[in-house]
Structure 1
Amino acid sequence: MAPSDTERGAAARTMQLLWSPPGAPSPSTAGLTLEAIIDAATVIADERGDAAVPLRAIGDRLGCTAMALYTYVGGKAELLDLMHDRTYAQFGTAPPVSVVEWCERLLELYLAHPWMLDLAHSRPALGPHQQQAFESLLGTLVPNSFDRRDVVAIASSAFSLPASAARTIVDARGALSGSVEDNELWWNERMDTLAAAAPDFAARFPLASGLSQHQPAAGTGTTPDDVPTLERAARDNLRRAVELLVAGASGRD
């Protein structure tokens, strides 16, 4: 279905706001600006941990009504696009030395702003800061003369793999609301009860059991051992997965 005139108009407005040059004039009433709205919304999203930021809460933070915000943003979807791209400015402009480093930067960005994980990655904001981050990723891939299909596949994975690792880490940190010991106790109890409920588990699932019996020893990964187990595994697995992707592309005939 073709987009309506209203949808096209909203898209054009969002693009104009995203790509306006720094310092471009914008509405300002009694100290209220678009930048202040984006900043306040981002702080609230960081505090909540999700993207469901009520416009009323933003207005309360800025001392105005929710309706006053519509002078600056067309609605919640537009505001999230602006927040998303503005947050990508924190990604950094220094060229990453590898795809692994790029992915680890993105992982840290997601962990600092977990609400970004709520947004649809199939419909990115297409703003300048995210595009600059993408350009820096391509800068680590294109000079290697990879097949174009491999560049596309690795680039796509470089966005999705950190998001998956970040979700795991955010969930693991949520489970650690008590302490590391509490989390370890939870796993120990589950494994003990699993062994009692399914004494033939290893025989029924030999491949999975074989993996669990050959976990990397402490100190063999790239993440410090004082990081909680699940987070350390997510970080090390992300790094290894990206290394394998790049090595596979490098090994093509």
Structure 2
Amino acid sequence: MANYTLLWRHKVPGKKATGRPPRFTVDEVIATAIRIADTNGLEAASMARVAAELGAATMTLYTYVPSRADLVDLMVDQVLLERNLSSDDSIRLFAGRTREMYAAHPWLTEVSLVRPPLGPGTMAEREYLIAAMTGLGLPTMKINRAALAVTAFVYAFAREAGEDARLRQISGQTTESWWHAHGDFWENWFDVEAHPAMTDLWNAGGFEDQAQDAFEYGLDLLLKGIDGSVE
């Protein structure tokens, strides 16, 4: 069960403090865990490691965050919230910030957002997208499906950016250098006769696009299609 008291800690009036004041805040615990995960992956951000970074005993950390699952939920919702979405933003800005989020926090690729933490970060995203689609004048029954279509497209590309960053983090090798390292495949193993469409496109220079080009192209088509469905 999600810990809504922690997820919505800034919305819930705090209890009057009694006794010795805490050494640090839940926000500091979350920030420390995110910093560790950004550098070393999600598994590294264990309760013991976070406690050690804060200079506390592991059991002390459980008085701030009761479980590792709660900590991961808090980490995820925090980075979602840090996109700072507002009603003045465009869908393109949401898309760009989401890709940047995954690139900056590649450990997100280790987390499923099919069942996201129901905190301020998740709710801010949904409210923003629903408001954006409503503002286009879409019929009621198309608003949520359009928002979900945009979400699915953006997150697919964003996760790819995160996976790229994570692989670079693990191997120390960029994806570009990985492809260069496999150059002998095209010379010695690729069968041009069995793959004529690919071969023709290669000879015409059609493989020069970057991931960003495909992202913008697909987003353009998607948004034009949504806009064209306004009745």
Say whether the fold is shared (TM-score over 0.5): yes
Aligned to 2:157: 162
For residue 203 of structure 2, the aligned residue among 213, 225, 229 is: 213
Distance 1:106 1:237, change over 3 A: same
Q: Distance in 2 between matches of 1:17 and 1:175?
A: 32
CA RMSD of aligned residues (A): 3.0
Residues 142 and 171 of structure 1: CA distance in aligned 2, closer, same or farther (over 3 Å) = same
State the alpha-carbon separation in 2 of the partners of residues 210 and 177 from structure 1: 33
Partner of 1:108: 100
1:227-238 matched pairs, under 5 angstroms: 233-238=210-215
The amino acid of 2:6's aligned partner reads: L
- Cα deviation for residue 43 of structure 1 reads 1.2
For residue 104 of structure 1, report the CA deviation from its aligned partner: 0.8
Specify whether residues 120 and 22 from structure 1 end up closer, same or farther in structure 2 by C-alpha distance, changes over 3 A only: same
Question: Given that residues 107 and 163 in structure 1 are in contact (C-alpha distance below 8 angstroms), is that contact kept between their aligned partners in structure 2?
Answer: yes
User: 1:39: which partner in 2?
Assistant: 31
Alignment CA distance shift 1:41-1:187 (3 Å): closer
Which residue of structure 2 aligns with residue 48 of structure 1?
40
> Does 1:19 pair with 2:8?
yes
- Normalised by the length of structure 2, the TM-score is 0.80
- Asked whether 1:90 is paired with 2:90, we answer no
- The alpha-carbon deviation at position 75 of structure 1 amounts to 0.5
Deviation at 1:128, TM superposition (A): 1.0
Residues 45 and 53, structure 1, Cα contact 8 Å, conserved in 2: yes
C-alpha spacing 1:51/1:215, structure 2 compared with 1 (3 Å): farther
Secondary structure of the corresponding residue to residue 203 of structure 1 = coil
Distance 2:88 2:205 in 1: 30
Partner of 1:241: 218
* Structure 2: distance between partners of 1:149 and 1:25: 35
Indicate the SS of the match to 1:134.
helix
| CA positional deviation for 1:52 | 4.3
CA contact (8 A) 2:106 2:166 kept: no
State yes or no: 1:151 paired with 2:146: yes
Q: Matched residues in 2 for 1:52 and 1:196: separation?
A: 41
Distance apart, 1:168 and its partner CA: 4.7
SS in 1 for 2:179: helix
Task: State the AA in 2 paired with 1:157.
Answer: A
Q: For structure 1, which segment, 71-80 or 25-34, has the greater mean C-alpha deviation from structure 2 after superposition?
A: 25-34
* Cα distance in 2 between the residues matched to 1:73 and 1:175: 29
Amino acid at match of 1:213: N
Q: Distance in 2 between matches of 1:214 and 1:51?
A: 45
1:250 equivalent in structure 2: 227
User: Shift in Å at residue 51 of structure 1?
Assistant: 4.8
Comparing 143-152 with 110-119, greater Cα deviation is found at 143-152
Percent of aligned positions with the same letter in both sequences? 25
Question: Tell me, which stretches of 5 or more residues in structure 1 are unaligned?
Answer: 1-9, 222-232
Cα shift readout 1:148-171 (whole Å, capped 9, x = no counterpart) = 464144243245223333235325
Q: Do 1:81 and 1:125's aligned partners in 2 also have CA atoms closer than 8 Å?
A: yes
Secondary structure of the corresponding residue to residue 220 of structure 2: helix
Aligned length: 224
Paired residue for 2:130, among 138, 148, 152? 138
Q: Pick closer, same or farther for the CA change 1:15–1:44 going to 2, 3 Å.
A: same
Change (3 A) 1:170 1:68: same
Work out whether residues 18 and 128 of structure 1, in 8 Å CA contact, stay in contact via their aligned partners in 2: yes
Which structure 2 segments of 5+ residues have no match?
Answer: none
